[in-house]
Amino acid sequence: MVDRKVKLEEMLSSLIERGGYSRNRQAILESVGVTAAALSQYVRGHTRPSFQRLVALADFFGVSLDYLVYGEPVSAPSDNGSPARYVERALADVRTQAGRHSDLMTRIGRVLADHIDVVARELAESRTAGVEGLIEQDEALRVERYCQQADIVATDLGPDVIAMPGGDAAAGQFFQVVTANLAKGCKYRFLLAGELGTRPEVVTRFRGLVAAVVGGDQLNENCSFRRTVLPVMGGAGLYRLDVAPLAMEEPALFTQFSKYLLNGTWLGYLIRPNQESNTDMLMSPSHTERACWAFDALWNAAGAHV
């Protein structure tokens, strides 16, 4: 008599895993008529199922008792009986697959809902325009990509050009957006105020960098600089936006800022007066309207081109 090694625990664990039941064993429990705790005991080898349970497990997984208990496959016997058994098994398999698919979709929905909740909490807790009327620097950068006109009261050109030792200059964070906008015909007006009004070398470096990218013609056609001698308390940005592509390509950003738009197109913000913060303050539509009027008045009074 051949002494065969019982591999019930190993085979049962393998069948559960390969059948896709590792995370949800409910179909097994219902078909075999056991509890989750009892099935776990079988898998761990702490207890052995009765003969009836062994037969039920073999039937559920569609394997022979020899394969379930010893891990030894046997040749499939010829079956001249009614095909009803196979139809029933096929229907059971379809129901099992449908159940697993439903469980998967439920889990996916739960995971997505959890992620949505996390993002919503982050937005609710962050210092964003939706909460406090603020616009972060990276948000201003993204919005500026959709400018048709940009009027900037500049007390510092640091976001556009970085002065380097020896008189050299390097592109700032906003430089690429500015040059891309100029190349497609966006109009820029830089009103230089405060200390910047007395530092023409910074503007010269900026103009040189821009001309190297878009050409002198585009620079002179679409980008203007003027100095104001009138006192200005801080910087500001006024954007006339192409809102259709903004709403299509950046729907969350558009929704976040839409209530601040003047006439559905103009967005205004006050540039932070320190280097420690990374957020600027959005203007209400009525404030933006006054700011546009004030900018034009200062621009016309400035007169001389830089």
| Closest alpha carbon to 13 in 39, 31, 46 | 39
Task: Look at domain 130-302 and name its CATH class.
Answer: alpha beta
Domain boundaries, the chain: 8-72, 104-128, 130-302
| Closest alpha carbon to 239 in 164, 149, 300, 173 | 149
- CATH of the domain spanning 8-72, picked from 3.40.50.720, 2.20.25.90, 1.10.260.40, 3.90.1410.10: 1.10.260.40
Helix, strand or coil for residue 71? coil
Task: Give CA–CA dist 255/30, Å, rounded.
Answer: 49
Helix, strand or coil for residue 285? helix
Single-letter code of the amino acid located at 139: E
Residue pLDDT, tens place only, 265-300 = 999 999 887 777 778 899 999 999 999 999 999 998
The pTM of the full predicted model, rounded to 2 decimals, is 0.57
pLDDT of 127 above 60:
no
CB distance 197 to 228 below 8 Å: yes
Query: What integer pLDDT is reported at residue 16 of this predicted model?
Result: 87
Task: Give CA–CA dist 253/268, Å, rounded.
Answer: 15
Residues 6+ apart with CB under 8 A from 226: 189, 190, 191, 192, 299, 302, 303, 304, 305, 306
Residue pLDDT, tens place only, 156-194 = 887 887 766 666 778 888 889 999 999 999 999 999 887
Beta bridge partners of 190: 152, 225
